[in-house]
Chains A and B, each alone.
Chain A
Amino acid sequence: MSENQKPVQVKLVLLGEAAVGKSSVVLRFVQNDFQEYKEPTIGAAFLTQKCRLEDKVIKFEIWDTAGQERFRSLAPMYYRNALSAVVVYDITSSSSFDKAKSWVKELQRQASPNVIIALVGNKLDLVEKSEENEDYLDDVASFDQNAVSEPSQTHSRAISRDEAQAYAEESNLLFFETSAKTSEGVVEVFTEIAKKIPHEQILNSTKSRAQDQSQQNNVSLNSTENQPKQVGDNCAC
């Protein structure tokens, strides 16, 4: 196996206002599935997904917010060591775009300085459908009872592609529009992030970490190699 085929583990965090579709985008990416009226997922807020590119394999370790974004209660631990972040807004809600901007600021303050950030405008299907079919109606209001902002009733676009694109360029973010429902654009978000991951650099730094003196005393609570030794005939102190 060539050096580059070794998967590199990359922590990716999701951010954005409640109900913009963060969990749905990841569900689409990881399981190619979409659930219209889904309950907030319980117990599954930590997913992994490998992304194989021509010259490297990236293993995303994806952290979902577990709802802690609702009252701005995400812990510093959430951002810690994140190499990439997907900041999602709902293209039919301008308040969610404002929130996205403040999350980008928060990331620039809390996350590691070279974190790769992708700005994602989700629910593209809503405006595309309404453009095709004026009568299209859906019970958007029931999407999420807990939503902090009012979901758009009209499905009209609130944030133009140009406006978001311009903001993304000036803030040095990747930019995409997606639909978790139709899957449009979803895989691209992750492959483009994967392409930007400094693969060599991470491999090298993991290697030097392993040799680093300061790593010597690291312990793993779960691994079998560190299982308790037999206490009986072994003097412990």
Chain B
Amino acid sequence: MDEDYDVIVLGTGLTECILSGLLSVDGQKVLHIDRNDYYGGESASLNLTQLYKKFKDTAPPSELGRDRDYAIDLIPKFILASGELTKILVHTDVTRYLEFKQIAGSFVLRDKTVSKVPSTEYEAVRSSLMGLFEKRRARNFFLFIQNYRDDDPSTHSGIDLDSHPMQAVYNKFGLEAGTQDFIGHAMALYLDDSYKQKPARETYERILLYTSSMARYGKSPYIYPLYGLGELPQAFARLSAIYGGTYMLDKPIDEVVLDENGKFTGVRSGDETVRAKKVIGDPSYFMSSTEQPHPRVKEVGKVVRAICLLKHPIPNTDNSDSAQLIIPQNQVGRKNDIYIAAVSSSHNVCAKDVYVAIVSTVVETSAPEAELLSAYKLLGPIHDKFVSVNPLYEPTGSGEEDNIFISRSFDATSHFETVVDDVKDIWKRVTQKDLILEKKTEPEINENQL
């Protein structure tokens, strides 16, 4: 550890690993450290032993099968097929280390029944989500969204996406509250209803992202990596290493070292200090237990997550091997949606006939787990359950003055779009340039024959 680096990256969560990979490809000298002896930090996937140790401090029961068959995600998220993470995966070519599967279906709770979010026009027409007249109104709304062109006022139906709030657009098409819930929560994937008062543009873009993701592979808008989400940071770490990044796991960080002006100079582990120009890291590396509140990091909310092991698919999801189930807040008298994300052995994340369903929501009360009860009811018998309440942190500073760039915690959304927003934002602050995702030139692959 006696060299100088351009950037030290602390923590091997997905955000950090993507940045590490992109920076190494960009030619920067990167040292990447994790205090754990495994990759992934908060976004790791754990085997059974690690899972039971972390949550229950016991050994796993033997009836669940072999340790190595398990990769249980700590953060429940799926990848939107046409989203920004997919672009980064393709752009960086890390797709060669990964295999993906479609998530079999997306479902939504409406009036106490679980319904499939239609994935084809046929399904939409037959869907019980709306009555006949409402379907006509919804159809007009979707035609407006599809046909809208910024430069052609005749497609605008008198709506200005940048000034009219979304609520005004719903009203214009006369959509019922339930349909608004469906569009805003099951398609635009908003967690609460504050979007209705904001300009309609963002909702419009989210609906387009959802429908183009849905159109890409056909069953749901989501894809998922075999062996779990923990594969993603590992793949980007390998990218970083291939381009010269140095990796150290199992290395505790004792101090972030500053100069007399409070600017970052290096990190200390035991009696070794490594110097670098800049540091990027997840919030946990910048919270000392002595300073309260933490000067560099603030809490902005909490998410409760319950990892549930089931011995059956989620009821009323057509026996799907995987699913997203959204419980819009209005349906259960809350401010924030509850999500259920389910995967199974066909994603190589658990033993055969086991299903992993993660229930999560933004905490609203002082009894977080009780907030998940309406979701538990939809799951049927729960074989075992691992509950955690996770504070969401974000940095207090931009890093401009002290060269310390801190990522945000993984939020309650069902996908990685906000993670990529954070990556782009940190990239810009660290490198002073925009992240441009054009497909890079073909990497060096040798095709030889003996």
Contacts and interface: CB of A to CB of B under 8 A. Distances in A.
B212 A228 contact: yes
Interface string A45-67: 11111111000000000000011
Interface stretch (B163-171, B244-252, B390-398, B412-420): B244-252
Given A43-B242, A66-B241, A237-B124, A73 B97 contact: no
A59 B347 CA distance: 26
A218 B99 CA distance: 8
23 contacts: A30-B448, A46-B96, A46-B443, A48-B448, A49-B446, A66-B238, A66-B241, A66-B242, A68-B237, A68-B238, A71-B248, A72-B250, A217-B102, A219-B100, A219-B217, A219-B223, A220-B100, A221-B100, A222-B90, A234-B121, A235-B142, A236-B214, A237-B123
Contact of A50 (B244, B443, B448): B448
Contacts of B81: 219
Contacts, number: 147
Given A49-B446, A187-B450, A221-B95, 12 more contacts: A31-B448, A40-B244, A76-B38, A80-B227, A219-B223, A220-B100, A221-B100, A228-B82, A229-B215, A236-B215, A237-B117, A237-B214
B212 A217 contact: no
A40 B29 CA distance: 14
Given A49-B446, A231-B212, A237-B214, A221 B89 contact: yes
B422 to A, nearest CB: 22
Given A66-B238, A77-B97, A71 B444 contact: no
Contacts of B100: 218-221
A107 B179 CA distance: 54
Contacts of A67: 241, 244, 246-247
Contact of B234 (A45, A77, A218, A222): A77
A78 B104 CA distance: 28
B178 to A, nearest CB: 16
B328 interface: no
Contacts of A221: 86, 89-90, 95, 100, 223
Contacts of A217: 101-102, 104, 219, 321, 346
Contacts of A47: 445-446, 448
A143 to B, nearest CB: 18
Nearest to B38: A76
B212 A236 contact: yes
A187 B242 CA distance: 25
Contact of B249 (A71, A77, A226): A71
A40 B244 CA distance: 8
Contact of A49 (B39, B86, B95, B450): B450
A49 B446 CA distance: 7
A67 B219 CA distance: 40
A169 to B, nearest CB: 27
B432 interface: no
Contacts of A1: none
B112 interface: no
A25 B240 CA distance: 23
A220 B223 CA distance: 10
A226 B219 CA distance: 13
Given A67-B246, A75-B234, A219-B102, A43 B445 contact: no
B118 interface: yes
A40 B245 CA distance: 11
A48 B120 CA distance: 41
A228 B208 CA distance: 13
Interface residues on chain B, size class:
35 or more
A143 B27 CA distance: 23
B238 A77 contact: yes
A157 interface: no
A229 B445 contact: no
Interface in A181-237: 187, 190, 214, 217-222, 226, 228-237
Given A30-B446, A217-B101, A77 B231 contact: yes
A47 B444 CA distance: 8
A66 B146 CA distance: 46
B215 A234 contact: yes
B247 A73 contact: yes
A214 B321 contact: yes
A70 interface: yes
A70 B215 CA distance: 44
B235 interface: yes
Given A46-B445, A50-B449, A75-B39, A235 B120 contact: yes
Given A42-B244, A221-B89, A231-B215, A52 B450 contact: yes
Nearest to A221: B95
Interface in B400-450: 443-450
Given A43-B443, A68-B247, A236-B211, A76 B234 contact: yes
Interface string A148-188: 00000000000000000000000000000000000000010
Interface in B83-99: 86, 89-90, 95-97, 99
A71 B32 CA distance: 11
A10 to B, nearest CB: 14
A237 B54 CA distance: 39
B268 interface: no
A51 to B, nearest CB: 5
Contacts of B231: 77
A73 B215 contact: no
A228 B235 CA distance: 24
A214 B234 CA distance: 24
B40 to A, nearest CB: 9
A42 B124 CA distance: 51
Contacts of B448: 30-31, 47-50
Contacts of A30: 446, 448
A145 to B, nearest CB: 10
